[in-house]
Amino acid sequence: MWPPKFSDAIDACNVARRRCERVVTAGLAQPDVNTVASVIVTARDCARIATLTSQMLERGSKYAYPLCEVCARACEELAKALDKLETILQHTQGDNPTDFDYRFNLGYGRAFTADHPVIVRLREMLDRETLRLADAGPDLRKTR
């Protein structure tokens, strides 16, 4: 049995693994899997890191601490970036006031979405849609 102080970390790793696996499942359900292949690969990598970390913690391995750092960093970076992208996605998909400033989203969260190639690609896709909506008149925005 692992030391009780590791219980929360093991639980967090298991939650992260399950969430990453859901991203993989959702990606595989997309009509064109090739467009999200890199997201699937990244989510699988994160799930594997979380799995290995929880296993090392359970065994009390001397490698658990360094793996915890890697796992936490990967999860934190991905979570921050996806949070920013989710906000932009909601703005491109939701009903917004007619005077909504879509161009604001073009700079929003840029620092969190510039490092990882998968996140950069997702950001580019969202920026294209944001520009389309910004350039469209209020009457055209409803016809997606």
Predicted confidence (pLDDT) per residue in 71-105, tens digit? 888 877 777 777 887 888 888 888 888 888 999 98
Predicted confidence (pLDDT) per residue in 10-22, tens digit? 998 998 899 888 8
H/E segment holding residue 13: helix 7-28
What contacts 46, CB < 8 A, 6 or more positions away? 16, 20, 74, 75, 78
Structure tokens at 92: 């491109």
Q: What is the pTM of this model?
A: 0.63
Structure tokens at 105: 């989203």
Please name the amino acid found at residue 65: Y
